[in-house]
A and B are shown apart, each in its own frame.
Chain A
Amino acid sequence: MERHFEHDLEELKQRLLWMGSLAERAVHQAVQAVLDGEERLAEAVLSEEDAINEMQIEIDERVQRLLALQAPMAADLRFLLAVSRINGDLERIGDQAVNIAQSALRILRHPQVKPYVDLPRMSELAEAMVRDSLNAVVRGDQELAQSVLRRDDQVDRLRDQLFRELLTYMMEDSAVVFAAFELVLVAKNLERIGDHATNIAEDVIYFVAGRDVRHPALDRR
């Protein structure tokens, strides 16, 4: 006989994944707004921010209720703690998408600084990290989570590369400073999205294996 608690946990997971899909879509639309110059997509991201925030509150309340009423232990306790943290990361991913959408609206007022080459690569990487970290949540897949962790450095390298490149454009032509600076912010936000996906992957390893892989340099006895 399936316990009511397990049904509640499954429902919580489904809600978290729904929130994840909203955050994922927001990132994709925000980046496309920059790359394709589609103001409509940026507006869509801004209008959906509330939905993600509402999901965050709903999921927090569900976690709080299950912790208080079910007093979970072991794997169940780890899962609920992880959901609580993942919930915060997804909400932050939504915020980063909003930041990118706002940058997009400002960028669109100016001529394109340069052909976009690294930015699409960077967004593909960051979006794939978010997608795979959520897939790892669904499947409890440690291997997939590890692969997300390994990809974080690539996103960081692309951000550094973009920073350098945009800096040279700004030094050459002060007329592009405004738009180039917004692109720096977009790259920074994408890099942060990669970091949040990394956090989610770490939480997957925590709830599946009970290992805390954050800050590996710390001595945890």
Chain B
Amino acid sequence: MGATTHGNNATAARLAPQVVMSDKTSQASDKDALVRFEISDLNFYYGAKQAVFGLNLKIPKNRVTALIGPSGCGKSTFLRTLNRMNETIRNTRVVGQILLDGQDILQMDVVGLRRRVGMVFQRPNPFPKSIYENVAYGLRINGFQGRLDDLVEHSLRRAALWEEAKDYLHNSAFALSGGQQQRLCIARALAVDPEVLLLDEPCSALDPVTTAKIEELMFHLKDSCTMAIVTHNMQQAARASDFTAFMLDGKLIEHSETSKLFTTPTDPRTEAYITGRFG
């Protein structure tokens, strides 16, 4: 874990031609990745104000999809429709279809949906409980019957926090640093083994070293989880995601492989935004 491992991989890729070729294979397989979410003609309204317009997007399984766009373009609103978090806001309305593994999420039990589609927010928001209880909480309310200790450890390991927190499990979560709290929130989300993790600006309050840890964590979580991340940090989208979607004024303007979107975008509005000429 950590930036060092990533650096070693990059060196290996430079030195070994066969590794470079396998990288090309993985790019090819990106195009064929299985679809986790399929969003069709999605419109979203806050009362009379429409925030998302006719959005169509496929979010591939075991990949990171980044959502970028200027403030107020609807990317966070769109992200929150994926686990129906917007329903907690009064007077909102969704029109369109969102399929999770072929099932319409609007027809699902919302608690079951949010167990499958976890969320991490901009500011770390641990419960006022111990580190252990923060991770165990979701398991307890879901009636988990097995060995809690094992699952808490497993989740903290997946969130790359175990080594730092294992001796302080029963201390308050607030004693952790901001970056550790954010990883605790990720561990808490991972405890119920979600298929999808939605991340809304998860690093905006973190320093570059902690940000690198979260990005590295996302890289490793891809094996078991599909992720969608909203970020204002273009470099983060470029580093951490496989696909990027650019939104503007509630509409999806362009969606493609990240390497393509950041080097050769097709829409002039995407070009203008990512080169900093507006937004």
* Bound-state Cα–Cα, A76 to B27, Å: 24
Expressed in whole angstroms, the minimum distance between the Cβ of B176 and any Cβ of chain A is 30
Q: Does A77 contact B (CB under 8 A)?
A: yes
Residue A78, interface by CB 8 Å: yes
| A76 and B263 in contact, given A221-B24, A221-B28 (Cβ under 8 angstroms) | no
**How distant is A69 from chain B, measured CB to nearest CB, in Å?**
12
B30 to chain A, nearest CB (A): 11
B24 / chain A contacts, CB cutoff of 8 Å = 221
> In this assembly, does B238 line the interface, its C-beta being within 8 Å of a C-beta of chain A?
yes
Q: In the complex, which residues of chain B have a beta carbon less than 8 angstroms from the beta carbon of A3? A: 276-277
> A78 to B275, Cβ gap below 8 A?
no
B275:A73 contact, CB within 8 angstroms: yes
| Choice from A5, A77, A221 contacting B262 with Cβ under 8 Å | A77
Q: Name the distance in Å between A149's Cβ and chain B's nearest Cβ.
A: 20
What residue of chain A has the Cβ atom nearest to residue B235's Cβ? A71
10 closest Cβ contacts across the A-B interface? A210-B264, A73-B274, A76-B275, A74-B271, A73-B262, A74-B274, A74-B275, A74-B265, A73-B275, A71-B235
What CA separation (Å) do A213 and B183 show in the bound complex?
45
Residues of A contacting B277 with CB < 8 Å?
3
A contacts with B, residue count (CB < 8 A): 12
A79 closest partner in B (C-beta):
B275
- B27 and A221 contact, CB distance less than 8 A: yes
User: B202-246 interface mask toward A, CB cutoff 8 Å, 1 = contact, 0 = none?
Assistant: 000000000000000000000000000000001100100000000
**Cross-interface CB contact of A73 among B27, B28, B234, cutoff 8 Å:** B234
A57 located at the interface, meaning its Cβ lies under 8 Å from any Cβ of chain B in the complex? no
The one of B264, B274, B276 that contacts A5, using a Cβ cutoff of 8 Å: B276
- Which chain A residues numbered 123 to 178 have a C-beta less than 8 Å away from chain B? none
CB-CB under 8 A from B270, the residues of chain A are: 74
Contacts of A77 in B (CB 8 A): 262-263
Q: What's the Cα separation between A20 and B270 when bound, in Å?
A: 32
Q: Which residue of chain B has its CB nearest to the CB of A71?
A: B235
Residue A75, interface by CB 8 Å: yes
How many A-B contacts if CB must be within 8 Å?
Answer: 33
Residues of chain A within 8 A of B27, CB atoms compared: 221
A75 contacts B275, C-beta separation under 8 Å: yes
Range for the number of chain B residues in contact with chain A: 10 to 19
List residues of chain B with CB within 8 A of the CB of A78: 263-264
* 27 chain-A/chain-B pairs, Cβ below 8 angstroms: A3-B276, A5-B276, A71-B234, A72-B275, A73-B234, A73-B238, A73-B262, A73-B263, A73-B274, A73-B275, A73-B276, A74-B263, A74-B264, A74-B265, A74-B270, A74-B274, A75-B271, A75-B275, A76-B275, A77-B262, A77-B263, A78-B263, A78-B264, A210-B263, A210-B264, A221-B24, A221-B28
Give per-residue flags for B249-269: 1 if the beta carbon is below 8 A from chain A beta carbons, else 0: 000000000000011110000
- Chain B residues whose C-beta falls within 8 Å of the C-beta of A221 in the assembled complex: 24, 27-28
CB distance from B139 to the nearest CB of A (A): 41
Residues of the B chain whose Cβ atoms lie less than 8 Å from the Cβ of A73 = 234, 238, 262-263, 274-276
Q: With both chains docked as a complex, state the minimum distance between the C-beta of A1 and any C-beta of chain B, in angstroms.
A: 11
Report Cα–Cα, A77/B238, bound state, in Å: 13
Cα of A74 to Cα of B277 in the assembled complex, Å? 12
A3 to B, closest residue via Cβ: B276
A74 with B262: CB separation less than 8 A: yes
> Would you list which residues of chain A between 1 and 45 have a CB under 8 Å from chain B?
3, 5
Q: Give A221 to B263 CA distance when docked, in angstroms.
A: 16
Contact indicator per residue, chain B 4-40, by CB within 8 Å of chain A (1) or not (0): 0000000000000000000010011000000000000
**What mask results when residues 115 to 145 of chain B are scored 1 for a CB within 8 Å of chain A, else 0?**
0000000000000000000000000000000
B72 → chain A, closest Cβ, in Å?
Answer: 21
